[in-house]
């Protein structure tokens, strides 16, 4: 094969090149099917083809097939080279593409569900439908019918028809080409105009597994796994079930109920834990407020370090400010090398002390940032070592600006 063009592809920084050959064995990306991979070599020179695509140059309406290679490119125009196809990659997507024909065909012929678009990926096959809702039972029926067809070893055949003849067959999808049409037929499961690559018989697909759905553009997109991926998914699920059977000491059919019971217990325990933590925070704040020796304009100035109480959180103290008519509060908590802080102002001091004054004088001590709105401000700092100076400075600033 001869190199007839070699140009940078996409952004030059990606160091990709598009090589055009005078002929090729590589199938270009199209119809949701990825392009072929291969090795282009000659003597001691070689490069890896990571994709094959169709392009329409701006200066010409002719379609050309380009091979995308990772740079640096060792070939120039006029060089001769050999193509070695990545057959496992090609064959995997032939099987996946054939499976998609069966899925889309059965969705249409058995349930009247059309296919809008498809995508064949490295892990999953997706079929976007024209429906806003499809029952799981329907998709499991499709799965069963596809696997029955796989076991039946139905040949995949091709036939040439005129455009008019092909259109008269009532195909599930419109014909995208002009002139004579190549029809791909899989028994009575599907017949469609398609220029893609397929296996010779349905049994080569091995297995198809329905794994879920998602919404896209208002449509249900169905998700499948095929061939070895389907088998691996089944084995993985079996391993999970076996592990859960051991953990719960239950039969597989009882696992969902056991998991729901455990979730309910966890939710209940979390609720009680939060209530206990709130009571602890309430008691701690009340105790500190009553024992406070720093009073400014009739307002207790309270500082708290709750780093040794991991079950407590700053928000639990913020929630209590409504129960105080007058308080100046600063709470800190060191966790994971960060210092979280909370400042609350209620009563006369809230009018006398602007938060901006506190921000400018306190936050630099801890490399802090944050904000809020009256009566609560909070944030985080990076200098944990200044925890105590931060609390002491809060008292000093409140005493200075509060009129003590």
Average confidence (pLDDT) over 142-159: 97
Average confidence (pLDDT) over 343-355: 92
Where helices occur in 152-195 by DSSP H, the ranges are 163-167
Residue 13 has pLDDT above 70, yes or no: no
Exposure of 224 by Cβ count < 10 A (0-12 exposed, 13-18 middle, 19+ buried)? buried
Q: Quick check: 206 and 95 in contact, CB under 8 A?
A: yes
Average confidence (pLDDT) over 139-166: 95
What pLDDT does residue 176 have?
81
Residue 117 has pLDDT above 70, yes or no: yes
What pLDDT does residue 178 have?
86
* Three-state DSSP class for residue 169: coil
CA distance to 275, 277, 288, 313, per residue, from 309 (Å): 15, 9, 15, 9
Average confidence (pLDDT) over 308-314: 91
What is the CATH number assigned to the segment(s) 90-244?
Answer: 3.30.980.10
Average confidence (pLDDT) over 181-203: 94
Q: Where are the domains of the chain?
A: 3-85, 90-244, 289-401
% of the chain residues with pLDDT over 90: 80
Average confidence (pLDDT) over 104-113: 96
Average confidence (pLDDT) over 86-105: 96
Beta-bridged to residue 344, according to DSSP, are 329, 376
For 13-39, give one letter per residue: b (16+ CB within 10 A) or e. Answer: eeebbbbbbeebebbbeeebbbbbbbe
DSSP string, 99-130: HHHHHHHHHHHHH-PPEEEEEE-SS-EEEEES
* Three-state DSSP class for residue 68: strand
What backbone torsions phi and psi does residue 372 show, to the nearest 5 degrees?
A: 155, -155
What pLDDT does residue 11 have?
67
Give the per-residue SS3 of 201-259. EHHHHCCEEEEEEEEECCEEEEEEEEHHHHHHHHHHHHHHHHHHHHHHCCCHHHHHHHH
Cα–Cα distance, 401 to 138 (Å, whole number): 71
Exposure of 366 by Cβ count < 10 A (0-12 exposed, 13-18 middle, 19+ buried)? buried
Angle at 230 between CA 226 and CA 232, to 5 degrees: 140
Predicted confidence (pLDDT) per residue in 208-218, tens digit: 999 999 999 99
The fold adopted by the segment(s) 289-401 is: Diaminopimelate Epimerase; Chain A, domain 1 (3.10.310)
Residue 404 has pLDDT above 60, yes or no: no
Predicted confidence (pLDDT) per residue in 22-79, tens digit: 999 999 987 778 999 999 999 999 999 999 998 877 666 678 899 999 878 899 999 9
The fold adopted by the segment(s) 3-85 is: Elongation Factor Tu (Ef-tu); domain 3 (2.40.30)
């Amino acid at each position: 094969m001869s190199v007839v063009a070699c140009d940078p592809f996409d952004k030059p920084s990606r160091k990709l090149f598009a090589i055009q050959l005078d002929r090729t064995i590589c199938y270009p990306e199209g119809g949701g099917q990825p392009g072929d991979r291969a090795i282009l070599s000659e003597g001691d020179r070689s490069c890896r083809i990571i994709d094959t695509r169709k392009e329409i140059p701006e200066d010409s309406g002719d379609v050309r097939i380009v091979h995308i290679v990772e740079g640096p490119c060792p070939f120039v125009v006029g060089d001769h080279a050999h193509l070695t196809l990545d057959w496992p990659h090609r064959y995997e997507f032939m099987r996946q593409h054939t499976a998609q024909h069966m899925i889309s065909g059965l969705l249409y012929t058995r349930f009247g569900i059309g296919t809008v678009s498809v995508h064949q990926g490295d892990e999953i096959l997706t079929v976007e439908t024209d429906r806003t809702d499809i029952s799981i039972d329907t998709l499991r029926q499709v799965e069963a019918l596809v696997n029955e067809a796989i076991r039946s070893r139905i040949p995949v055949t091709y036939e040439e028809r005129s455009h008019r003849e092909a259109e008269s067959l009532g195909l599930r999808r419109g014909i995208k080409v002009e002139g004579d049409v190549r029809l791909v037929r899989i028994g009575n499961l599907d017949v469609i105009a398609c220029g893609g690559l397929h296996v010779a018989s349905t049994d080569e697909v091995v297995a198809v597994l329905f794994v879920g759905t998602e919404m896209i553009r208002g449509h249900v997109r169905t998700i499948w796994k095929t061939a070895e991926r389907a088998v691996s998914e089944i084995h993985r699920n079996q391993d999970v079930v076996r592990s859960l059977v051991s953990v719960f000491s239950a039969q597989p059919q009882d696992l969902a109920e056991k998991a729901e019971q455990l979730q309910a217990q966890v939710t209940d325990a979390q609720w009680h834990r939060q209530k206990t933590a709130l009571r602890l925070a309430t008691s701690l704040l009340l105790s500190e407020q009553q024992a406070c020796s720093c009073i400014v304009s009739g307002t207790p100035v309270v500082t708290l370090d709750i780093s040794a109480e991991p079950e407590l959180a700053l928000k639990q103290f913020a929630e209590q400010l409504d129960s105080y008519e007058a308080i100046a509060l600063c709470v800190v908590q060191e966790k994971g090398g960060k210092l979280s802080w909370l400042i609350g102002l209620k009563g006369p001091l809230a009018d006398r002390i602007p938060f901006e004054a506190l921000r400018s004088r306190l936050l630099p001590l801890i490399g802090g940032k944050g904000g809020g709105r009256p009566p609560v401000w909070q944030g985080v700092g990076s200098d944990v070592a200044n925890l105590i100076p931060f609390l002491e400075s809060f008292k000093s600033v409140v005493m200075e600006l509060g009129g003590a």
